């Protein structure tokens, strides 16, 4: 699965030797939720635009299903 920008940043910081404590972990989780909300807004806008212009394999599926297919690595 793909990484979100927030996940990429956290992983790169760990690779560089930064210690991610509880406070930073909480901040990263908050940032991931904010990023997800922003992606959701973009997704809904794209759904409207795609329906106007052409069909896509993602037209008609829920944001949660799309997000999980792209970004969830569980």
Task: Return the higher-pLDDT residue of 70 and 20.
Answer: 20
The two tokens of residue 16 are 């560089």
pLDDT tens readout for residues 14-68: 999 998 899 999 999 999 999 999 888 888 877 776 665 555 566 667 778 878 8
pLDDT at 33: 93
Classify 17 as helix, strand or coil.
coil
Which of 58, 8, 7 lies closest to 33 in space, CA to CA? 7
Tokens of 32: 């991931």
Query: Residue 6: what pLDDT?
Result: 92
Query: Residue 55: what pLDDT?
Result: 53
Tracing tokens 């299903």 back to the chain, one arrives at 65
Tell me what pLDDT residue 8 has: 94
Residues 6+ apart with CB under 8 A from 47: 58, 59
């Amino acid at each position: 699965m793909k990484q979100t920008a927030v996940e990429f940043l956290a992983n790169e910081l760990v690779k560089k030797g930064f210690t991610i404590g509880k406070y930073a972990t909480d901040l990263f989780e908050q940032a991931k939720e904010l990023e997800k909300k922003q992606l959701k807004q973009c997704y809904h806008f794209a759904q409207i635009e795609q329906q106007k212009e052409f069909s896509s394999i993602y037209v008609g599926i829920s944001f949660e299903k799309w997000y999980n297919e792209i970004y969830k690595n569980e």
